[in-house]
Amino acid sequence: MTVHPQISVVINNYNYGRYLPDAIDSALAQRDVQAEVVVVDDGSTDDSRHVISAYGDRIRAVFQKNGGQAAALNAGVATATAPLLAFLDADDWWQPGKLAAVVAAFGRAPDAGLVYHRLQPTHLDGSKAFAAIPRSLCRGDLSRMLVASGGCWPFPMTSSLSVRRSVWDRAGNIPAGFRISADAWITGVLPFLAPVVALPDALGAYRIHDNAWYRSSPDDAMLARRISHWEETVRVTNIFLAAQGRPERLDVADHFERAMALARLDHPKAPGRLALFMHALRDAGEPHPLRRLRTALRIMAAARGAAGQAEVGTS
């Protein structure tokens, strides 16, 4: 008798052959669930093809020319056959009960389009780096919050995301322009189509290392790249909302993380410290009032520190 998978795992990989076995092994080790594992290699030039081929028919392999993360995820979804989709970056891994928890969550919430959980950031040796992320969890209809915040919320990253295939199909494939951080489309658009479920446990690990999006200490080039990405995400989301016939539109000026990045770069469009302080206090993308207050106080403390340094420099 043919057993149809309850959920399809889509692993996207580009030159992460050294990490890939941890990701694939964690997907194959899932308990109490019928799952298929699709691994998409996006034109890697390292030993990824050899790593993937060694798994034989235990996985479904897709090899393609390099097209970016969006192209890899889209190819994986096109290959997947289950009604639920779970995404995993090749440099991360999952706890053995992750998929069972996700399937159960979708079962309890038949109208949900997106289920996510926290991830435990880890160092390269597997040890914990800091507290599980995101700190704040958001549930239900998030559309009003996304509009008020310019699409900025404590959203989860790729390896914690699972979606209902029917909702993915309503949204359509991720636009090709999302060569990195393609999860911004999933977390930015799907909440307009269906409710979101948040699971509090850290059901996977997020590996900390310098890559195309993350730096342990963000440099100017990285901050500029993030600003451009956030602005493009708002633009594309508004195009999507218009195509769906929805009245909502995002305003990038409401995006608090972008405002912070502009300030760190001393950009001409950066808000003043007082404006940034007020933005932090009313940040619609952070549901936890104490976290908003702490951020605002840090902004003012930094401003006072900068002013003190200026006084010392002129004395």
Q: Of the ranges 151-160, 193-202, 216-225, which is most confident?
A: 193-202
Structure tokens given for 255: 């995006």
Q: What is the pTM of this model?
A: 0.92
Percentage with pLDDT > 70 across the chain: 92
What average pLDDT does the segment 131-149 reach? 97
Domains in the chain (CATH in brackets) are: 7-207 (3.90.550.10), 220-314 (no CATH)
What average pLDDT does the segment 289-306 reach? 86
**Cα 277 from Cα 298, distance rounded (Å):** 9
Confidence of residue 33 (pLDDT cuts 50, 70, 90): very high
**Cα 240 from Cα 229, distance rounded (Å):** 16
Residues 63 and 49: beta-carbon distance below 8 Å:
yes
Residues 126 and 209: beta-carbon distance below 8 Å:
no
What would the pLDDT profile of 87-99 be if each residue is shown by its tens digit? 999 999 999 999 9
H/E run at residue 85: strand 84-89
For position 245, what pLDDT does the model report?
97
Select from 51, 44, 87 the least CA-distant residue to 66: 44
How large is the C-alpha radius of gyration of the chain? 20
Regarding beta strands 60-64 and 35-42, do their DSSP bridges make them parallel or antiparallel, or are they unpaired?
parallel
For position 311, what pLDDT does the model report?
40
Regarding beta strands 84-89 and 60-64, do their DSSP bridges make them parallel or antiparallel, or are they unpaired?
unpaired
User: With 90 as the cut, is the pLDDT of residue 79 above it?
Assistant: yes
User: With 70 as the cut, is the pLDDT of residue 212 above it?
Assistant: no
Supply the mean pLDDT for the chain. Answer: 92
For position 293, what pLDDT does the model report?
97
Select from 190, 102, 197 the least CA-distant residue to 140: 197
What would the pLDDT profile of 189-202 be if each residue is shown by its tens digit? 999 999 999 999 99
Residues 73 and 44: beta-carbon distance below 8 Å:
no
Residue 122 bridge partners (DSSP):
128, 207
- What crossing angle do the helices spanning 256-264 and 273-281 adopt, rounded to 10°? 150
User: With 50 as the cut, is the pLDDT of residue 309 above it?
Assistant: no
What average pLDDT does the segment 126-132 reach? 90
For position 252, what pLDDT does the model report?
97
**Cα 240 from Cα 223, distance rounded (Å):** 26
Residue 204 bridge partners (DSSP):
94, 119
Confidence of residue 159 (pLDDT cuts 50, 70, 90): very high
Confidence of residue 307 (pLDDT cuts 50, 70, 90): very low
